[in-house]
Structure 1
């Protein structure tokens, strides 16, 4: 096989060297252009003016800050005055509320003062009526005292024993006493009196037996002792006695005292 000749061989190294050189040149150009642009921006008079104004503002800020720091006592005094003004405002509001309350009370007092004359006139009228009624009241009290005394005397008299005495043409009869009160009768033919309600009287065996016993006794008679409130009871009892043909009579009893039948028991 024949070997190639040296002048006919192909290599990439020279090409790569050229490309690297070109890239390096481009980078240098871009860097130079950028630096130039930066230099131009730094030398722009507009930016320089803005920087100057900014520096002036910074200086003014520092001066104001220094003044504010130096005026701190005056600021504290101003704050105290503000607080005092707020306190005064609150006190003023309280005073206004109190003034409104006092005004309302004054109005109420004025209205009451306006109502006072009619009330005073009414009080005087009532006082006059009381003075006029005092003599009548004393008279009524006197009458009441007399009535109480009379009632006490009557009650005392009513509680006293009432003695039943023989009298009249029937003195020789043999009486059996039946007491007639408001709503009952009391049989006095035994050692312990027996009370019978008026509603049961017509069918009561003891009362009917007493009537039959009196009927069978020669000269026997029933004497009804009628209390002041026993008129109706007497009429019922007498009707039953007449229905059984029993001799009977009546004797009015004054008061509510205990009955004394001792004169008949001794006979």
Structure 2
């Protein structure tokens, strides 16, 4: 596996949702990057990127948060986010707020475009389907990078998701303001997931996985939502189990 140059300063921007509700994802990112030779720092002063405020129309409230993020992560050669939506906010919206976005990467982008690796040495003997989240797909243009990483995972059986590029219905505050529409979109996405007979549904954003996983859990389907980072960090020595 390629190793990161010793001079590279890499930082993890965990994002609010991951830090608060899904810390295992952040830990998985660190394990994965360290396994690939990176030395990862976690600046303790990091806060929300401001996406929720900006997307809800509170641009003035988003700007101080954006400035803080830019300040906290200044000087790093790469800032990795396990979230296409937050990475999209930083890369594409910060400049319109007059804020330096720095060298920000969504996880799959960093692995393939910067480290130049597809096989990260993962082991995950489960049937998995992948949901491409809207921001990663349309704003960042990550394309098939997550799929390339998943196909290289030892033991993993990748099941194609029908109508994969259709939104799951989360959309941040969209799910709150348009609950009925969101629920209908979620129902379609869950049907597609169940049609794959997958044990696990994965994505690059915990926000979408929380939405999809919540619906699947309420229906007692037995399908588990799991962030891409946690699959890529899984090894034969530390196998993932549904009871974790």
TM, length-normalised to structure 1: 0.27
> Quick check: which has more Rg, 1 or 2?
1
Q: Which has the higher contact order (CA 8 A, sep 6+)?
A: 2
TM, length-normalised to structure 2: 0.29
